[in-house]
Amino acid sequence: MPNSRRQTALTIIVLAGLAISPLAISHYNDKEGPQSYRQSWFALVAANFGPMVSMVKGEMPWQEMQMAGYADQLAALTTLDVMRGFPDGSDKGTTRAKPEIWQNKPDFQNKMDALTTAVNALKTVADQGTDRKAIAAQVAATGKACKACHDEYKSKNYLY
Ligand code: HEC
């Protein structure tokens, strides 16, 4: 397969594996501050990344300005301290965060850093605007960073 077709096939495979529901609803519960904080952050991340995936998949018209705008918002979100939402003892309550997060904090942090790196690269290509293949590839790479963490540290259903 030529390289670009392989790239496209890879993109589709990665994106198909991403279960991003536009209806994912976060909650705010003042008895569960950290849980609410992190879930709200992930909801914002998904609200910006979801449309980018839809554009790459052709489910939404590809608008360069919008693509760059979502990438900028996503990059801005990664400057927030999301680890504030994962203090010790917050593995309970209304959450899909697996207890392994607190057993493997450095690995979890690495996966968070990998997301930041991927998102910054995405912002760089999306801001340039024109190279759709490069943008699609970086959307896929970012999706892989989400999936790498979810596979290990996020359960499908609420745990408690
Ligand atoms: C370093 C780990 C990690 C990375 C990277 C990550 N996630 Fe998550 N994500 C989680 C964990 C853990 C939860 C569960 C949080 C909870 O329920 O308390 C979660 C929850 C979510 C939720 C549900 C939020 C809610 O409403 O409760 C969405 C949506 C989501 N992530 C999307 C994404 C997307 C999109 C990306 C990539 C752009 C991403 N995540 C990257 C770990 C990660």
Name which of 113, 103, 142 is nearest 126 in CA terms.
Answer: 142
Residues 125 and 114: beta-carbon distance below 8 Å: no
Residue 12: per-residue pLDDT: 63
Residue 142 and residue 115 in contact, taking contact as beta carbons nearer than 8 Å: yes
Measured on CA atoms in the order 35, 40, 43, 45, is the torsion positive or negative? negative
Which pLDDT value is given to residue 27? 61
Give the distance from CA 41 to its chain's centroid. Answer: 10
Q: Which residues line ligand 1 (CB under 6 A)?
A: 20, 24-26, 35, 38-39, 42-43, 45-46, 49, 95-97, 108, 111-112, 115, 142, 145-146, 149-150, 153-154
CA distance 97 to 85: 11
Which parts of the chain sit beneath pLDDT 70? Answer: 1-27, 160
Instruction: Give the pLDDT confidence score for residue 23 in this predicted structure.
Output: 45
Those residues with Cβ within 8 angstroms of residue 129's Cβ, 6 or more apart along the chain or in another chain: 64, 67, 68
Mutate to test the pocket of ligand 1, among 28, 29, 42, 111 (most ligand atoms within 8 A of CB): 42
Q: In angstroms, rounded to a whole number, what is the distance separating the alpha carbons of residues 147 and 18?
A: 7
